[in-house]
Amino acid sequence: MQQRDKLFINGKWIAPHGAGSIDVIQSSTEAVMGRIPEGSPRDAEDAIQAARAAFDGWAATPPAERAQYLRKIADGLKARTEELAQLIATEVGMPIKLARAIQVGGPVFNWNETARLLESFSFEERVGNSLVLREPVGVVGAITPWNYPLNQITLKVAPALAAGCTVVLKPSEVAPLNAFVLAEVIEAAGLPPGVFNLVTGYGPVVGEVLASHREVDMVSFTGSTRAGKRVAELATQTVKRVALELGGKSASVILDDADLPAAVKGTISACFLNSGQTCSAHTRMLVPRSRYDEVKEIAARVVAGFTVGDPLQEGTKLGPLVSAAQKDRVMGYIQRGLNEGAELVAGGPEAPDGLSKGFYVRPTVLGNVDPRATVAQEEIFGPVLSVICYDTEEDAIRIANDSIYGLGGGVWSGDEARALKVARRIRTGQIDINGGPFNMTAPFGGYKQSGTGREGGKYGLEEFLEYKSLQLKKPAA
């Protein structure tokens, strides 16, 4: 068991002000796998003050020097790849093979990519008689989720540091142990004291201090839409910059000329990644009504190939959910979908055979779902796909847009030009065309209640910068 009893503040590992601790539960066994400090408002205050004191010096550090620190951090994480992959697979439940590639490989890439961007990014330009500067926004409070814990931390902390900001990080208390490894790597990289600070604890305690504190210039939050609304509400009191990456109910639109087996398989894979615990998961599959029977047959066959089991076993394709509460929530949604008239194509609300321990659920496909049904409108955050039939292309676009969310999605067609035309009409931040792969340098973020702001590549770096215009006196003619 990993016992963490100190917070990382002002370049040192220090004891928290309170004596409380939080248990970290192994998702596959339900056993306690670690403990972390239950941070207090005073701990958050100390971290904010450390970040404020360090800001001027870090902001004045040349970008090339900041980039060197980022590369050291990337190298430090890469050296601990297997340790981190095992840790996150145990915390979250993602199968180990995927955890290595996504949960650790993604962060290593993004730290390096941010360093590369920083070496070529222009922080000033001439516009007429003005010199326009890009300057760091200031002290950043980063509040991160449990589903892709290290990568969501990276997408906030790396560009914030690159921009010249200082950071106070509050990771999810559900999957926090990887954040301590990152803090150790940052310490070893020699980052100046106070530039990065780690305070663990609960959102309503530590998170609310970060969102409301007048010395925090920006808060970047990833999590549920409900919690994001609370963060934004608190932040408005000090008119701070707010970036929110929230929920999703993404539609995969399969047009009538698509390669149906490829489209159904691709959609299911995009729905079930990380056991469906992905905000941009394609959880609504829109199919031509005339091809529904074919879709059912293909979907049942594809789902049968998703081996559910111990995430630390190399052959597992689908691990457990992260917690008992999440398991109960997902099973409840499956049952509600059936109660509201959906057809069970695969899976169901019962626990998988032979897996009585651990937070496992059956990968489930619900067929012939009404577009207004609960399972078609609310974010489930589990391996549950709703198949919705449509009659015309216009009907499909209308259903895809009939959501309070707008984060991800997909369009499948034998004619790429047609797919692009449909994609342009869907109100969402990112759309895969015929299964196009995820691009970590493209902007990621959402429309509507999926949030504000963007992460990834140069777009993520720009979130942490302010504009300043210096009006110069024009030389005499």
Residue-wise pLDDT tens digits, 82-115: 999 999 999 999 999 999 999 999 999 999 999 9
Residue-wise pLDDT tens digits, 49-67: 999 999 999 999 999 999 9
Q: Cα 58 from chain centroid?
A: 27
199: left (phi over 0), alpha (psi -120 to 50) or beta: beta
pLDDT bin (cut points 50, 70, 90) of residue 189 is very high
pTM over 0.85: yes
Mean of the pLDDT values across residues 281-298?
98
Q: Would the pLDDT of 356 be above 90?
A: no
Residue-wise pLDDT tens digits, 313-340: 988 999 999 999 999 999 999 999 999 9
Q: Which of 245, 379, 455, 463 is catalytic?
A: 245
> How would you write the chain as a 3-class SS string?
CEECCCEEECCEEECCCCCCEEEEECCCCCCEEEEEECCCHHHHHHHHHHHHHHHHHHHCCCHHHHHHHHHHHHHHHHHCHHHHHHHHHHHHCCCHHHHHHHHHHHHHHHHHHHHHHHHHCCCEEEECCEEEEEEECCEEEEECCCCCHHHHHHHHHHHHHHHCCEEEEECCCCCCHHHHHHHHHHHHHCCCCCCEEECCCCHHHHHHHHHHCCCCCEEEEECCHHHHHHHHHHHHHHCCEEEEECCCCEEEEECCCCCHHHHHHHHHHHHHHHHHCCCCCEEEEEEEHHHHHHHHHHHHHHHCCCCECCCCCCCCCECCCCCHHHHHHHHHHHHHHHHCCCEEEECCCCCCCCCCCCCCCCCEEEECCCCCCHHHHCCCCCCEEEEEEECCHHHHHHHHHCCCEECCEEEECCCHHHHHHHHCCCCCCCCEECCCCCCCCCCECCEECCEECCECHHHHHHCCEEEEEEECCCCCC
Mean of the pLDDT values across residues 154-164?
98
Task: Give yes or no for a contact between 167 and 50, defined as CB atoms under 8 angstroms apart.
Answer: no
Q: Would the pLDDT of 476 be above 70?
A: no
CB atoms within 10 A of CB 216: 23
Beta strands 7-9; 12-14: pairing state: antiparallel
* Backbone phi and psi for residue 234, each to the nearest 5 degrees, phi listed first: -65, -40
Q: Would the pLDDT of 477 be above 70?
A: no
Q: Which of 38, 113, 208, 279 is catalytic?
A: 279
pLDDT bin (cut points 50, 70, 90) of residue 474 is confident
**279 an active-site residue?**
yes
**340 an active-site residue?**
no
Residue-wise pLDDT tens digits, 384-428: 999 999 999 999 999 999 999 999 999 999 999 999 999 999 999
The pLDDT score that the predictor gives to residue 475 is: 63
Going along the chain from its start, the domains and CATH numbers come out as: 2-246+450-469 (3.40.605.10), 250-441 (3.40.309.10)
